[in-house]
Amino acid sequence: MYMLKSKFFLLIAISSFLFSCSEDEKDIQFCECLKLSKTLNEKNQQVIKETRKSDSLVFVLKELISEKRRICKPYEQMSGEEMIAREKVCE
């Protein structure tokens, strides 16, 4: 009988401990921390994706600038009038 009472008491003690950790007793600041951490992780992933896109765009632009400088070098000292005349022929 004593063994049954001690097991019953142990069961009550464990149950009350588990119920004391119920949703009503949740740590609101901790929950907010988790929520903000999740939001930060999502935004960080967006930034990483955009940075990769930006990096590839910068690479393309640098390549185009380099190509333009190489192709246009002979025409850097050309007068405006001559440029306009040659531009009309290109159209």
In a domain, 62, yes or no: yes
Over the stretch 54-68, which tens digit does the pLDDT of each residue have? 888 888 888 999 999
Q: Show the domain range for 66.
A: 27-75
In a domain, 18, yes or no: no
CB 65 within 8 A of CB 57: no
In a domain, 13, yes or no: no
In a domain, 19, yes or no: no
CA Rg value for the chain: 36
Q: How many domains does the chain have?
A: 1
Q: Is the pTM of this model over 0.85?
A: no
Taking CA 7 as the corner, what is the angle to CA 22 and CA 13, rounded to the nearest 5 degrees? 25
In a domain, 6, yes or no: no
In a domain, 2, yes or no: no
In a domain, 87, yes or no: no
Over the stretch 32-82, which tens digit does the pLDDT of each residue have? 888 888 888 888 888 888 888 888 888 888 899 999 999 989 988 989 898
